[in-house]
Every structure is written in C-alpha cells, then in structure tokens.
Amino acid sequence: MAVFTEVSEREAGMLLRELKLGELRELRGIQSGIENTNYFVTAQDMLGEREFVLTLFERLTFEQLPFYLHLMKHLAQHGIPVPDPAADRNGDILHTLGGKPAALVNKLAGKHELAPGLDHCAQVGAMLARMHLVGRDYPRQQPNLRGLAWWNETVPVVLPFVSPAQAALLQGELAFQNHVAASSAYAALPRGPVHADLFRDNVMFDEGRLTGFFDFYFAGVDSWLFDIAVCLNDWAIELATGRHDAERAAAFVAAYAAVRPLSAAERQLLPAMLRAGALRFWISRLWDFHLPREASLLKPHDPAHFERVLRQRVAHPILAASL
C-alpha cells in the first residue's frame, strides 16, 4: 500500500520484540494501493528468518479494526489460508505504532496471478465459498463500510469532477441500486462476513496452487452475492475492455456452487449485483483520484476502468443460467 506514515527501523524492531518474533533484519515499504501504510518486515529468531506484513491503518479506527482482525484470526483457525494477526503477551492483536492502529501478520507464500486461467478462477471460487461458510458463526457484526450508504454519501461528492454523461450514469445506477436494495429478493439474499475486495492482487498462488487471500480491510457483513460479483468483475473480465469472460466466470461460479449452492434469490439478482460491484469501485476510484491524500508512494487507480465495467454490465446483463 502507499506509505502515508513513515515507520523507523527502531519502531519496527521494538514491535517485533514485544511480539516475541525476533530481531528486525529488513523493513521495506510496499508501493501498491492507496488505503493503508504497509511494510514488508523480515525478522530473525532461533528458527531462522520469517517474513511479515506490517500495516498501519490510515482510515479505519481502533473501534472498527477488531472486526477485521478477529475475522482473519477466525478464518485462519478454521483452515482458510489468510494472514494470521500476531498477538502480544496479553493476547491483543491490535497494536499502536506511530500513533496509529497497527497489525502484524504473516506473509503468505507465492505470488499474484494477474492473467488467471480457468483453474485459478475455480480455486478462488471454491475457497470463497468455504470462507463464506466458515464465517457463518463469526460473532462480531459490522456493516460493509463501502456499501450502499457510502455510495449515497459519496456520489454527490464526486459529481463535480465528472462529465454530464458520467454524472447521469452514476445517478441512474445509484437510483437503481437503491431500488434493488428495497426489494424482497434482496432481503432474501444469504448474508455474512464478506471480503468485498478480492481482486487478483489480493490472492496468492504458488506453482498454480492457491495459497491465500489477504487484505481484509474492506470486509464487512453483506450479501455473499455481492462478494461473488466483486470477484467476477475482476477475475472474469477482459481488463482492457471490461468485457465479460464467460469461460472464466463459469469456472468460478461452478466451483463456488459445488461448495455452497446459490439460492434462487442469488440467481435472480446476479445481474444487479454485478452492476453494484462495478459501481462501488467506480465511486471509490473517483473519490481517491480526485480527492487524494498525501503519501510518499501514492498511486491512485484509474477510475475509467470500472466505468467501462459498469457500462458493460448494464448493456450486457449476465444471467446466472448462462454460467
């Protein structure tokens, strides 16, 4: 992620010692993303060198963060390959560094697969379904903070920065999503903790095998269908055009449904949720692009990408029966 808050080697070393993880060997800022301050941390103890990811949270508060961190701990303890937050001697997994809330998690093995094939999509679909099922008994509650309420608040803020045609699309789609959210079919959607940001760069593979999901800091309680839609809008599209890739989408959905079959309401609302997923990221990218915060390694994403995806989803609805 972009480095908003500088962390010294002394500060990082003190945290490692407090967590009994050894001595600091290397501290490197991570240059992708725009939400939090992240560093790769290499520590050494009697067992050798280990790698971690240190995150300082720039927007999330001490009150909000236990939901995310304990969700990761819950999933890790139930066999889902996600980063496991390190605890201090009191069992606390939320720490303070540089006056900011912070967490230290193990670094997952492998690398991103930015040109996924059918098998990659199937593995992500199956693991997402497993994650949803494991999350059913997670006791903490927190809404998706980038859900419909946030869209309603943020669209008026970004409208001055877009063209009349873009403004019409934003306002029209927002009205459509408010209408969908008021429907009985939407109320019937199965819900629980969702990742809500499971793009290609938040999944790791090692020699073709999925080794983990990470970056849960947009997670919240929402419809599982929204989580599926966010994934399909990244894993099963042509990045250059936003066009739907039917084969990859079918592989993803079939693998997901083999673990957790989709309900009738989910099949009915898949086209609407695909539009919702595209709208959510178009809004957030417009916001980050036109109202950026200062950071030493800030690289905002191009908002035009999810405008293209949304226009594709509106013009060419994807029915569940086609997958």
pLDDT digits (tens, 9 = 90+) for 283-316: 999 999 998 866 544 567 899 999 999 999 999 9
Q: Is residue 140 part of a domain?
A: yes
Q: Which of 85, 106, 127 is the last residue of a domain?
A: 106
Q: Which tokens in the block code for residue 314? A: 């509106």
CATH number of the CATH domain containing 89: 3.30.200.20
Q: Please indicate, yes or no, whether residues 68 and 159 belong to a single structural domain of this protein.
A: no
Q: Please indicate, yes or no, whether residues 83 and 191 belong to a single structural domain of this protein.
A: no
Q: Which of 51, 84, 106 is the last residue of a domain?
A: 106
Q: Is residue 195 part of a domain?
A: yes
Residue range(s) defining the domain that contains residue 194: 118-322
Helix or strand or coil: residue 121? helix
Q: Please indicate, yes or no, whether residues 133 and 38 belong to a single structural domain of this protein.
A: no
Look at the chain and report how many structural domains it folds into.
Answer: 2
d(CA 301, CA 288): 8
What was the pLDDT predicted at 297? 44
Total-model pTM: 0.93
Q: Which residues of the chain fall below pLDDT 50?
A: 1, 296-297
Q: Are 58 and 101 in contact (CB under 8 A)?
A: no
What was the pLDDT predicted at 81? 98
Q: Is residue 123 part of a domain?
A: yes
Q: Please indicate, yes or no, whether residues 199 and 287 belong to a single structural domain of this protein.
A: yes
What was the pLDDT predicted at 107? 96
Q: Please indicate, yes or no, whether residues 176 and 280 belong to a single structural domain of this protein.
A: yes
Q: Please indicate, yes or no, whether residues 166 and 304 belong to a single structural domain of this protein.
A: yes
Give tens-digit pLDDT for 36-78: 899 999 999 888 899 999 999 998 999 999 999 999 999 999 9
CATH number of the CATH domain containing 234: 3.90.1200.10
Q: Is residue 111 part of a domain?
A: no
What was the pLDDT predicted at 294? 60
Q: Please indicate, yes or no, whether residues 37 and 185 belong to a single structural domain of this protein.
A: no
Q: Please indicate, yes or no, whether residues 36 and 184 belong to a single structural domain of this protein.
A: no
Q: Is residue 309 part of a domain?
A: yes
206-209 own/partner pairs: CB under 8 Å, 24+ apart: 206/109, 206/110, 206/111, 207/110, 208/119, 208/120, 209/110, 209/123
What was the pLDDT predicted at 46? 85
The region that residue 98 occupies, defined by phi over 0 for left and psi between -120 and 50 for alpha, beta otherwise, is left
d(CA 218, CA 32): 16
Q: Is residue 3 part of a domain?
A: no
> Which of 107, 113, 62, 114 has the alpha carbon at shortest distance from 85?
107
What was the pLDDT predicted at 91? 94
Q: Please indicate, yes or no, whether residues 176 and 293 belong to a single structural domain of this protein.
A: yes
Q: Please indicate, yes or no, whether residues 208 and 269 belong to a single structural domain of this protein.
A: yes
What was the pLDDT predicted at 322? 83
Q: Which of 76, 106, 136 is the last residue of a domain?
A: 106
